[in-house]
Amino acid sequence: MYIVFEGIDGAGKSTQIQMLKEWLEANGFRVETLVEPTDSVVGKLIREILQRPDAETDEVQKILALLFAADRMFIMDKLKDDSKIFISDRSFISSLAYQEPVDWVEQLNRYAKKPDLLILMDLDVKTSVARASGDDTFENVEFLTRVKDNYLKLVDNYTHEIIDANRGVNKVSSDIKKAVAPYLGICPDCIL
């Protein structure tokens, strides 16, 4: 099973993925976590480019869209192993939400595996700004609002659960367990 976490920056994806992993392991599942961008040479290049002052320009975003699509090809083979659960921090759905135009980005990612379950960590833009960057410029708020709206439209194309990520870590974690349990045949009353 391939479970993907998506959401705007600061939504708490990495913390929640770790908590979900530990809980699934306690329930007897084998779990491997993944992160995009990966630690491949392309992933390293992506991180370097993301630091550039011109990272948000249209030209650099197009370059990034190509690199993100290339980078995720490094993990596609691994996902064929059906003896474990893969939980990924981001996927091609990030590219659909962040880069544009969407039909081109879709083409670039045609060989990317679709998630069996998409968890959207839905966070208010104000909270994202406060938690992640502190950058509350109009452009950034406008950008994050667009990404958040894109996510809310995109999720309907996949088996998904929307989690309210504005609350405390434990409350969010328990909502995620409740959402994931039925997909794995874990009895809802057995959730700790």
Residues making contact with ligand TYD (CB under 6 A): 9, 36-37, 50, 68, 90, 94-95, 98-99
Cβ 128 to ligand TYD shortest distance, Å = 10
Give the ranges where the chain is alpha helix by DSSP (H). 13-26, 41-50, 58-76, 92-98, 102-108, 125-128, 138-154, 169-180
In the complex with ligand TYD, the residue whose CB is nearer, 85 or 123, is 123
Cβ 26 to ligand TYD shortest distance, Å = 26
Residue nearest to ligand TYD as judged by C-beta position: 98
Question: Distance between CA 125 and CA 41 in Å, rounded?
Answer: 32
In the complex with ligand TYD, the residue whose CB is nearer, 56 or 164, is 56
Cβ 54 to ligand TYD shortest distance, Å = 15
In the complex with ligand TYD, the residue whose CB is nearer, 1 or 35, is 35
Cβ 161 to ligand TYD shortest distance, Å = 19
Cβ 173 to ligand TYD shortest distance, Å = 19
Token reading at 74? 């490094």
Nearest to 163 by CA among 3, 5, 45, 35: 5
Handedness of CA 72, 75, 113, 25 (dihedral sign): negative
In the complex with ligand TYD, the residue whose CB is nearer, 23 or 68, is 68
DSSP state of 24: H
In the complex with ligand TYD, the residue whose CB is nearer, 37 or 115, is 37
Question: Distance between CA 143 and CA 145 in Å, rounded?
Answer: 5
Question: Distance between CA 27 and CA 187 in Å, rounded?
Answer: 11
